Each structure stands twice: as structure tokens, then as C-alpha cells.
Structure 1
Amino acid sequence: MIREIAAITIDPARAAEFEAAVAAARPHFEAARGFVSFALERSIERPECYRLVVGWESVEAHMVDFRGSGGFQAWRDLASPFFVGPVAVEHLARVI
């Protein structure tokens, strides 16, 4: 399993709306081929900063299967109006 970590910055005054949009998008992730897990985390020190943490069976499950799906477009349609900058995405593999 790998984890996709997406660093997202929003206007903190819109946090409740953003969190509702991500909750509405969650089923699109869950329906995706290779999906494993899903979490949205918010920084305590910087409340405008979130991390979307999605577990995938492989990088390809995320980058090819999900990103090529209608579910990805639905996620972007729901969440992107809240982004105040580019989203930085990286993939992590547990080593220990």
C-alpha cells in the first residue's frame, strides 16, 4: 500500500464548507479501483492547512485509475473552489 498525501490550503473561514465538500467527495474515492483508506486532517497550528491522506494499492491506482475516472473530476468539482493555491501531492511508502 502507498499513501497519497495532498497538501491543501484553504480560507479558514470556509473550513466547514470545505470539510462538507470533502465528505461529499469521499464516496468517489471509495468507489475507485485500488482504494484502501481515506482521511482528511487539519493542522492545529495553521488552520488553513489540510492534508488529504488516501491509501491506494499502488501509485498507478491513484495516478492512472482514479485520475482517469469521473470520480476524480467529481472530487475536483467539489473541493477545488476552496483551494487558495496549488495542491502539492506526493506518494509515500512505509519503510519501517
Structure 2
Amino acid sequence: MILEVAILPVIPGKNAEFEAAFQQASSIISSMKGYISHELQVCLEDSNKYLLLVHWETLEDHTVGFRGSAEYQEWRKLLHHFYDPFPVVEHYIVNQSYKPQ
């Protein structure tokens, strides 16, 4: 399993519009092959910053399947104009056997 992590810097004053658009966009991402779950959190220290976490079965489900799809174009139209600057997206391997020392 892969965890996609993105910090989303939303243009000040656009929070309510962004959150409404994200509700719409949630149905898009959740319908994709390899999608497991997602959550969106708002930062306490900076209410214009959001944390998006998406679990995918494989990296390719996100980078090839989702990003290469017509559905991604709709996701992009709904959300990308809210970001400044554009978010950095990283992927992490979910290691369920790791135990902190």
C-alpha cells in the first residue's frame, strides 16, 4: 500500500469554496481503480493550509491510472485553481510491521 501526501496551500479567502469543491472531487478520486481511502485535514496554525492523505494499492494507481485519466482532468478543474503555490506531492510506503524503538 502507498500513502500519497500533499500539503495544499489554499489562496486566502478561498477556504469555503475549496472545501465545497473538494467534497465534489472526493467522489471522483474514490471511484478510481486502486483507491483505498483519503482524508483532508486543515492546519491549526495556518487555516489556509490543508493536508491531503490518500491510500492507494500501488504507486501506479495514482501516478498512471488516476493522473492519466479523464477523471483527473475533472479533479484538476475543480481544485487546482485554489493552490498558491502548487502543492508538492510525495509517496510513502506503508510499512505496517514498523514499530518505533
Do the structures match in fold with TM over 0.5? Answer: yes
2:16 aligns with 16
Q: Give the C-alpha shift of residue 21 in structure 1.
A: 0.6
1:41-56 to structure 2, matched below 5 A, reads: 41-56=41-56
Q: Deviations over 1:49-88 (max 9, x none)?
A: 1111111001010001001111111111000111111110
Q: 2: CA distance between counterparts of 1:73 and 1:51?
A: 21
Q: Normalising by structure 1, report the TM-score.
A: 0.94
Using the aligned pairs only, state the percent identity.
Answer: 38
1:1-96 to structure 2, matched below 5 A, reads: 1-95=1-95, 96=98
Q: 2: CA distance between counterparts of 1:72 and 1:31?
A: 11
The secondary structure found in structure 2 opposite 1:68 is coil
Please list every run of 5 or more consecutive structure 1 residues that lacks an aligned counterpart in the other structure. Answer: none
4+ residue segments displaced more than 6 Å: none
Q: Give the C-alpha shift of residue 17 in structure 1.
A: 0.6
The secondary structure found in structure 2 opposite 1:44 is coil
Q: 1: CA distance between counterparts of 2:6 and 2:73?
A: 16
Please list every run of 5 or more consecutive structure 2 residues that lacks an aligned counterpart in the other structure. Answer: none
Paired residues, number: 96
Q: Normalising by structure 2, report the TM-score.
A: 0.89
Q: 2: CA distance between counterparts of 1:82 and 1:33?
A: 26
Q: Deviations over 1:22-44 (max 9, x none)?
A: 11001111111100001111110
